[in-house]
Amino acid sequence: MNQDIPTVNCPAESGVHKVVQFLAKDGKHYLRINFGMEAPIHHIGIVSAFFDEAGIEYITTHKGVFPKGKEIEIEGAGKIDISLENRTAELFGESTDYKVEISQKGVEAIRQEYPGWTISHNPRRFK
């Protein structure tokens, strides 16, 4: 896995975007947001783009895109409502592609890496 990739790919504009959380076997958390990709993008597209960026070999099945090895796992997925002006990000929802919700543990890990931001998880929000 390429270690020289950013923890988060922050969008250039505020708004609601799909997001996927990843957990590497070394304990590092990554967050990928679907800005800049051709819309509509599904969580599967975000996962394959991250695996390409990180140099991770993967397989594609009718159920999704999955790493060939154990170096990384899909920790959570859903949406993120981000305000660049206010430096806030609220993660919520789930992925119908991967049948997972946003991971609170992943949110807490990213929050620690970005102390100037207010990053939260709202398990009761769906849209």
Q: What does the block give as tokens for 115?
A: 């102390």
Pair 26, 6: CB distance under 8 Å: no
Share of the chain above pLDDT 70, in %: 96
Instruction: Map out the domains of the chain with their CATH numbers.
Output: 15-121 (3.50.20.20)
Evaluate if residue 119 carries a pLDDT over 90: yes
Question: E strands of the chain, at which residues?
Answer: 15-24, 29-33, 58-61, 64-67, 72-83, 88-92, 94-95, 100-101, 118-121
What per-residue confidence (pLDDT) applies to 36? Answer: 59
What per-residue confidence (pLDDT) applies to 106? Answer: 96
Q: Tell me how far CA of residue 68 lies from CA of 37, 72, 87, 92, 121, in angstroms.
A: 24, 9, 36, 28, 30
Nearest to 94 by CA among 19, 29, 13: 19
| Mean pLDDT, the chain, integer | 91
Evaluate if residue 39 carries a pLDDT over 60: no
> How many CB atoms sit inside 10 A of residue 14's CB?
14
How far is residue 98's CA from residue 45's CA, in Å, rounded to a whole number?
Answer: 12
Which is higher by pLDDT, 22 or 124? 22
Q: What value does the mean pLDDT take over residues 56-62?
A: 94
pLDDT category at 89 given cuts 50, 70, 90 is very high
What per-residue confidence (pLDDT) applies to 37? Answer: 55
